[in-house]
Amino acid sequence: MRRLSSAAAARAAAKISLVALDVDGVLTDGKIIINDDGGEAKNFHVRDGMAIVMALKHGLQIAVISGRRSKVVEHRARELGIRHVYQGAGDKLSVLKRLLAKLKLTPSRAAFMGDDINDLEAMGFAGFSAAPADADSSVLEAAAWVSSFPGGGGAVRELIRLVMTAQGKWPSHDGKAYSDEA
């Protein structure tokens, strides 16, 4: 897909009501630490979390759609207040379609950020396809918008900031209203 100009990205972002996110490599740096007992640890970025909390406060819908299953994701989603959590999603496109139907939204109202080949279908369906800077090369080619930041390192925050700025919802400075734990 042709990369959007910044003006075109802002126009598309202004329409977004749902920001759907892959987890590994988007909300995290893609690394999974597996302990002896099989428990997992992942690296999330606290500033991505803050942006998600702010987006939810302003009425944006946030979803996480992961191909894997992990308790860590449940904990992080609960902490941030994300209600749309889909794990073990072998077919992310179907999950996204079902969620859009449930929310009564057209695809043009959805952004999807992914980093690997199993995200490509959902990205192609969403009105706004986004990728972190360190996504797989095929995903970088397919994305209409690529963050300057890597997965787990601010890519999600930059996407949400773009959407909220286009909608006049991003605060000019982070004040007390946004001081929740994120």
Residues making contact with Mg ion (CB under 5 A): 22, 24-25, 115-116
Q: Which is nearer to Mg ion, 59 or 90 (CB)?
A: 90
By the 10 Å C-beta count (0-12 exposed, 13-18 middle, 19+ buried), 110 is classed as buried
Query: Can you give the C-alpha Rg of the chain in angstroms?
Result: 15
Are the C-beta atoms of 26 and 155 separated by less than 8 Å? yes
As beta bridge partners, residue 85 has: 64
CA distances to 22, 138, 143 from 162, in Å: 18, 23, 15
Q: Which is nearer to Mg ion, 25 or 150 (CB)?
A: 25
Q: Within a 13 Å sphere around the CA of 171, how many CA atoms are in the beta-carbon half?
A: 14
Specify the residue, 54 or 114, whose C-beta has the smaller distance to Mg ion: 114
- If the CB atoms of residues 54 and 150 are measured against Mg ion, the closer one turns out to be 150
| In the complex, minimum distance from the CB of residue 115 to Mg ion, in angstroms, rounded to a whole number | 4
Q: How far is the CB of 93 from Mg ion (least distance, A)?
A: 15
Residue nearest to Mg ion (CB): 25
* Nearest distance, CB of residue 92 and Mg ion, angstroms: 10
Nearest distance, CB of residue 26 and Mg ion, angstroms: 6
